[in-house]
Amino acid sequence: MDVLGRLLALLALLVFGAGLRTVGILDTTRTAWLNAAAYYVALPALVFVATYDQAIDELLSPSLAGGLALVFGLTAGIAWLVHRNRAADSRRSVAIVQSYHSNLGYLGLPLVAATFADDVTAIASVVLGVVTLLQLPLTILVLSSLNGANATLSAELRRLATNPVLLSLLAGLAIGSAHVSVAPAVTAGLDVLSMFALPLALLCVGASLQIDTPSIDAGATGAVVALKICCMPLLAWVIFSWLAVDTATVTATVVMLGTPTAVSTFVFANELGGDEAFASLNVFITTLASIATLFVLITLVG
């Protein structure tokens, strides 16, 4: 019941964020402030405290990197096969992207940190880094190529190189690998900041969710939901069980890859010619449905 309680609290925060947007409290400016606090402060603090006392060779193994690339590649390939006959390129591109692009930073890592032990959280931080490096360039490539948009891939890659979450991951792993001690006062302060990662992220996600009823395509949205929160974690479970990795790695990868479609896919769809109303609906539905599927996943792997 503890896991169910956590996920229901997650849903309550999502609904609360959406409600604050509806009544005008979380307008665009205030949501941007909360988003900046989560993105530049709370999430980097969470990643750093999870990794600063871990050597990189203890976390990033060939099995972990290869398994993540295999799960990601298979999911993206299946998504292309499933959605290849969608009539409009704008909708087809969004459906493909949202079938594999996971909400690792705002939901996955904070949820893992709130639910599992430190060793699982440390591996989940590495999962976030590896999968982000895979999914962001592919998402830009798919949307821009199918929609004929002039995407500045080089600019996005430069932004990725200065991503505060990835930089905090690299800093934590570098310090852990060099066995450098960090002052207790510093880690205590960062630990306090990291506690705000999940609530801030959930409020931001809730404030960003939108539903446009005329855009509903039950078949396409159902396929996105099935691929993102059912097929992808199932593939992770099968592949990492086959690789015979430790329990912490299986737990971290299955839960992280079982997260819903990232809110950022709506932003990318808007910028690169995708069907933004369809994208917004899919973010909402996958997030809502993931409450149930994440409960099942966490119960099974936990």
Q: For the chain, give the mean pLDDT.
A: 85
CATH number of the domain enclosing 46: 1.20.1530.20
Question: What does the pLDDT look like over 178-195, one tens digit per residue?
Answer: 888 888 898 899 888 888
pLDDT number for residue 1: 47
Q: What is the mean pLDDT of residues 215-243?
A: 92
> Length of the chain in residues, anyone?
302
- The whole-angstrom separation of Cα 232 and Cα 256 is 10
Name the residue among 73, 83, 17 with its Cα closest to residue 224. 83
> Running DSSP on this structure, what letter comes out for residue 25?
S
pLDDT number for residue 95: 95
Q: What is the mean pLDDT of residues 121-142?
A: 86
pTM here? 0.81
Name the residue among 6, 96, 71 with its Cα closest to residue 256. 71
Is the pLDDT assigned to residue 227 strictly greater than 90?
A: yes
11-15, 99-103, 284-288: segment of lowest average pLDDT = 11-15
Is the pLDDT assigned to residue 151 strictly greater than 60?
A: no
- The whole-angstrom separation of Cα 185 and Cα 146 is 50
Number of domains forming the structure of the chain: 1
pLDDT number for residue 40: 85
Question: What does the pLDDT look like over 253-271, one tens digit per residue?
Answer: 999 999 999 877 877 787 7
pLDDT interval class at 147 (50, 70, 90): confident
Residues linked to residue 102 through DSSP beta bridges, in sequence order? 261
Is the pLDDT assigned to residue 44 strictly greater than 90?
A: no
Q: How many CB atoms lie within 10 A of CB 160?
A: 14
pLDDT interval class at 230 (50, 70, 90): very high
CA dist 248 to 29, 101, 127, 197, 270, Å?
39, 23, 12, 22, 37
Mean pLDDT comparison of 3-7, 141-145, 226-230, highest-scoring range = 226-230
- The whole-angstrom separation of Cα 184 and Cα 118 is 17
Question: What does the pLDDT look like over 96-123, one tens digit per residue?
Answer: 999 999 988 878 888 898 889 989 999 9
Name the residue among 101, 100, 103, 80 with its Cα closest to residue 92. 80
DSSP E strands: which ranges in 118-275?
A: none
Domain that holds residue 149: 2-301
Q: What is the mean pLDDT of residues 118-138?
A: 88
Q: In 180-246, where does DSSP find H-type helix?
A: 184-194, 197-208, 218-226, 232-242
Instruction: At 102, give phi and psi (nearest 5°).
Output: -90, 150
